[in-house]
Amino acid sequence: MLVDGNIGGSIDGTAGGDLEALEHQIASAERTGFDGVWTTEVGRDPFLPLALAARQSPSLTLGTAIAVAFARNPMTVAATANDLQGLSSGRFILGLGSQVKAHITRRFGMPWSEPTERMAEFVEAVRAIWTCWQDGSDLSFEGRFYRHTLMTPMFRPPAHQWGAPPIVLAAVGPRMNAVAGRTADGVIVHSFMTERHLRDVTLPQISAGLRESPRDRADFTVCLPGLVATGAHDAELGEAMEAVRSQIAFYGATPAYRSVLDLHGWGGLHEELHRLSVAKRWDEMTALVDDDVLGEFAAVGSPDDVGATVRRRYADIVDRFTLYAPYPMSEAVRNAVVAAARES
């Protein structure tokens, strides 16, 4: 199992949009010994930090977790991903997600319909464009949602030796999990995830899609940005636990994620969290996440204990584990977690 980190956001109290801060994050990721780094599309562009990382780091795998597919079109995504694949000498992973209807239509002003079918076609279209660029063939892609049939020499980028990057899809429900297994090279599992749900529900849904593809599990990458709560001493650990409780409460209030709570018999917790969120009573939500819920959704404890928990829970089913810490974590603590997660 590979262990990854994040750059581009607020890490260790630094603002990810500042170039100097980004350089610090990339250098820190290398010192920590991460195998790769990922960027998110929350308040910042997910691609730009990776261009800097590609030049600064000679070894880190670089991925978007995620770029919002439906805020763009296959041609624009194919071009940016192709550039990053070349710039990183073949170390780029294109992570795509659908987002939800309100954000696509009201924030991005883009069309929304049939998200699973649209995502499957989006992936197919991106690959068709890459094939056109790499082997010089005509561009002739015509689908229900996207049509790309023009590629003149002036706009065709030169082929490079690294080929097309892998595509991984963010997925939550059964239909998108199956699409990921059927069409993509991997999946980014949602952070609101327990080991039981991953083993008993999510992975079987992905396997159903894989059975409809020419690939098997060995050709497919499961990525999990997993919640961790840890610190160098008791006070830091306490602050981390509260931050993670708050994150779990936020996710748990979302109807789309209720099924994870239902599996553990915690459907009533979702209902109460959702009721409080509608009333904007955010502070009251965190207190509802007790230690049992916290321990199922996050690895909790000392850095050594957290690393051991991650390894025990996920080493046999997850290919890339990203530390998800919604609070400042020192480099020393990260180093200890990563070292413990890798112990045999």
pLDDT digits (tens, 9 = 90+) for 263-300: 999 999 999 999 999 999 988 999 999 999 999 999 99
Residue 11's pLDDT is what? 46
Quote the CA–CA distance of 59 and 84 in Å, as a whole number. Answer: 14
In our burial notation (b when 16+ CB lie closer than 10 A, e otherwise), range 77-92 reads bbbbbbbbbbbbeebb
Say what the pLDDT of residue 17 is.
Answer: 55
Query: Helix (H, G, I), strand (E, B), or coil: what is residue 125?
Result: helix
Q: Is 253 helix (H, G, I), strand (E, B) or coil?
A: coil
| Residue ranges per structural domain of the chain | 2-342
The CATH topology of domain 2-342 is TIM Barrel (3.20.20)
Q: What is the pLDDT of residue 43?
A: 83
Tell me if residue 151 falls in helix, strand or coil: coil
Tokens of 321: 């584990």
pLDDT more than 70, % of the chain: 97
Q: What is the pLDDT of residue 15?
A: 47
- What is the chain's alpha carbon radius of gyration, rounded to the nearest angstrom? 20
- Tell me the pairing of strands 141-142 and 147-148: antiparallel
Q: What is the pLDDT of residues 235-270, one digit of tens each?
A: 999 999 999 999 999 999 999 899 999 999 999 999
Q: Does 176 score more than 80 pLDDT?
A: yes
| Higher pLDDT, residue 256 or 225 | 225
pLDDT exceeds cutoff 70 at 14 = no
Phi, psi at 189, each rounded to 5°? -75, 145
| CA distances for 124 relative to 85, 118, 136, 277, angstroms | 18, 10, 18, 38
Average pLDDT, the chain: 95
Per-residue pLDDT tens for 112-146?
A: 999 999 999 999 999 999 999 999 999 999 999 99
Q: Report pTM.
A: 0.94
Segment holding 44, helix H or strand E: none
In order of 92, 211, 250, the CA distances from 113 in angstroms are 29, 26, 26
Q: What integer is the mean pLDDT of 10-14?
A: 46
Q: Which amino acid is at 334?
A: R
Packing angle between helix 48-56 and helix 74-87, nearest 10 degrees?
10
